[in-house]
């Protein structure tokens, strides 16, 4: 009896936190109001930034989809986790076979082993041919979504390993994904959960429901962003309504820079580019009671850090038998802590192309902006393939803005270009000749990591449709 009385006075163990990661598709660094866009209205994401933290130097390890998503799921650079190209069911046999290696350990597997409910809603793009490659084969208890990009054929909505809908009306996807995410949160409100929510938009083909269509005053892209923003608002409201606010870490970001209709916020390049417009994306985090409201960090961070941060928040150990490149960035979300990285690297396909630190960026390989050829002034974009005869694509018009989403000016690309990102975030002036010591220091760091990069695997050599 005395023992019972003593035990009852001990403080209750703090509940394990929930983790929600929301990933937009092709959202540009300058697309949100809280990152300075003058027309696009994103009040819920702006409020998330006001109530939490915003990073201004957050990077993806590659300017394309699947490599970045693999890094988020594994905490490892694409060259380490074996995912340097995009799977594509309509891209030929090599691209069709691309998948995250079975030897890689995902964030979902680690959370599941720790007793968490694990749910995913949205785009996977880490393998689609077998059940073992799908989300429910990689640690998620459930998944609703498309297994690859929404412009790859066939566009099928999957529920677990089953086709839930085909043909598919894409205008309803953001809404349906949101409803499933809210359902997952409701069903798991009494136990800790991990929700990975990679939304479909604003990847082309752009589409939204009648509620948002032509309502933003900022074109179809603005309509789509309003839909995406409302989705985030509903997730945050659900968490608050259920009383989970103070034990739920919510992180929001994008898989790469913008493509059709987006904005880099004055950065050079776009999706697919090794300039900042390809790599730098928004990143927000909210955790009332843990993350102070309105905090802004200018310290560089990278996508793999969300893997490490989620694990740290949940007190789950990362795998000890492999290199984990991600670092816990809760200190960046909560204080003026410096970057945990001496350097951050940027991929182009299977190869490392760039290295940057808090101020300087070295393009060891000549900068690329290959997607720019698709943006011809005055021309409207038309998918040359058209509908596949079965799939119903977005019912609204698609368009190709004549304006490139990022800067197209500046010194001509060449190898070993150095840019001062503090003074010249638009990468206009190559200052390698003025700072040979900086070039040498960064090249030494680059060489140390580049020696670990394997020879280009066959899928990366093939044309694996890396632009989706």
The Cα angle at residue 239 between residues 234 and 241, in degrees rounded to 5? 90
| Annotated catalytic residue, options 65, 81, 128, 295 | 65
| For residue 7, pLDDT beyond 50 | no
Q: What is the mean pLDDT of the chain?
A: 92
Whether 125 is catalytic? yes
pLDDT at 377: 60
What is the average per-residue pLDDT within 26-47? Answer: 98
CB 28 within 8 A of CB 40: no
Q: State mean pLDDT over 145-156.
A: 93
User: For this structure, is 65 an active site residue?
Assistant: yes
Q: State whether residue 442 is helix, strand or coil.
A: helix
Integer-rounded Cα radius of gyration of the chain: 21
The tokens describing 451, both together, are: 């020696």
Neighbours of 43 (CB within 10 A): 15
* CA–CA distance, 370 with 86 (Å, rounded to integer): 16
User: So what's the pLDDT on residue 10?
Assistant: 45
Q: What is the SS3 assignment for 363-394? A: ECCCCCCHHHHHCCCCCCCCCCCCCCCCCCCC
Domain boundaries, the chain: 18-346
CB 414 within 8 A of CB 432: no
Tens-place pLDDT, residues 63-95: 999 999 999 999 999 999 999 999 999 999 999
Q: Minimum mean pLDDT among 251-265, 291-305, 325-339: which range?
A: 251-265
Give the pTM.
Answer: 0.94
Dump pLDDT digits (tens) for 184-217.
999 999 999 999 999 999 998 889 999 999 999 9
User: Per-residue pLDDT averaged across 109-114, rounded?
Assistant: 99
Q: State which fold the 18-346 domain adopts.
A: Alkaline Phosphatase, subunit A (3.40.720)
pLDDT at 345 over 50: yes
- What pLDDT, in 10s, does the model give residues 224-245? 999 999 999 999 999 999 999 9
Q: Give percent of the chain with pLDDT exceeding 90.
A: 81
Instruction: Report whether pLDDT(267) > 90.
Output: yes
Six token digits for residue 143? 């998944």
Q: How many CB atoms lie within 10 A of CB 89?
A: 18
Which pLDDT does position 168 carry in this prediction? Answer: 86
- pLDDT tens-digit map of 403-433: 678 898 999 999 999 999 999 999 999 999 9
335-363 burial code (b ≥16 CB/10 A, e <16): eeeebbbebbbbbbbbebbbbbbbebbbb
pLDDT band at 466 (very low <50, low <70, confident <90, very high): very low
Gap between the terminal Cα atoms of the chain: 66
Q: Which pLDDT score is estimated for 14?
A: 81
Stretch 281-289: mean pLDDT: 99
**Exactly one of 125, 128, 295, 341 is catalytic; which is it?**
125
Which of the four pLDDT bands, split at 50, 70 and 90, describes residue 6? very low
């Amino acid at each position: 009896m005395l023992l019972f009385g003593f035990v009852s006075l001990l403080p209750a163990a703090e509940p394990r936190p929930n983790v929600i990661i929301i990933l937009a598709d092709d959202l540009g660094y300058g697309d949100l109001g809280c990152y300075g866009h003058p027309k696009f209205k994103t009040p819920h994401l702006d409020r998330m930034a006001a109530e939490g933290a915003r990073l201004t130097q957050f990077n993806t390890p590659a300017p394309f989809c699947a490599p970045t998503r693999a890094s988020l799921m594994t905490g490892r650079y694409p060259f380490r986790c074996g995912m340097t190209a995009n799977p594509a069911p309509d891209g030929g046999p090599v691209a069709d076979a691309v998948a995250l290696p079975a030897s890689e350990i995902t964030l979902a597997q680690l959370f599941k082993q720790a007793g968490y409910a694990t749910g995913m809603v949205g785009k996977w793009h880490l393998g689609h041919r077998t059940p073992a490659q799908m989300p429910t084969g990689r640690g998620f208890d459930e998944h609703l979504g498309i297994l690859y990009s929404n412009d790859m054929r066939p566009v099928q909505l999957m529920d677990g390993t089953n086709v839930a809908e085909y043909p598919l009306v894409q205008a309803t996807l953001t809404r349906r994904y949101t409803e499933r995410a809210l359902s997952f949160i409701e069903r798991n409100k009494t136990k800790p959960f991990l929700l990975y929510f990679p939304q479909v938009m604003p990847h082309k083909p752009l589409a939204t429901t009648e509620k948002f269509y032509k309502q933003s005053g900022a074109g179809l892209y603005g309509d789509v962003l309003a839909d995406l923003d409302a989705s985030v608002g509903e997730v945050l409201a659900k968490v608050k309504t259920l009383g989970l606010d103070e034990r739920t870490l919510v992180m929001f970001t994008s898989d790469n820079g913008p493509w059709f209709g987006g904005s880099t916020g004055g950065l050079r390049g776009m999706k697919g580019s090794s300039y900042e417009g390809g790599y730098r994306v928004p990143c927000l985090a909210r955790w009332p009671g843990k993350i102070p409201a309105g905090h802004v960090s200018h310290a560089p961070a990278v996508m793999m850090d969300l893997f490490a941060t989620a694990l740290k928040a949940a007190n789950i150990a990362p795998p000890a038998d492999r290199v984990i490149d991600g670092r816990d960035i809760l200190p960046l979300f909560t204080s003026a802590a410096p970057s945990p990285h001496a350097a951050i690297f940027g991929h182009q396909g299977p190869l490392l192309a760039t290295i940057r630190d808090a101020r300087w960026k070295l393009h060891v390989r000549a900068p690329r902006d290959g997607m720019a050829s698709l943006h011809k002034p005055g021309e409207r974009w038309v998918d040359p393939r058209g509908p596949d005869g079965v799939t119903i694509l977005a019912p609204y018009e698609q368009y190709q803005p004549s304006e490139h989403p990022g800067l197209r000016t500046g010194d001509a690309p060449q190898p070993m270009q150095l840019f001062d990102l503090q003074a010249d975030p638009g990468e206009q002036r190559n200052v390698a000749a003025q700072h040979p010591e900086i070039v040498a220091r960064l090249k030494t760091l680059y060489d140390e990591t580049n020696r670990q990069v394997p020879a280009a695997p066959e899928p990366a050599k093939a044309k694996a449709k890396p632009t989706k």
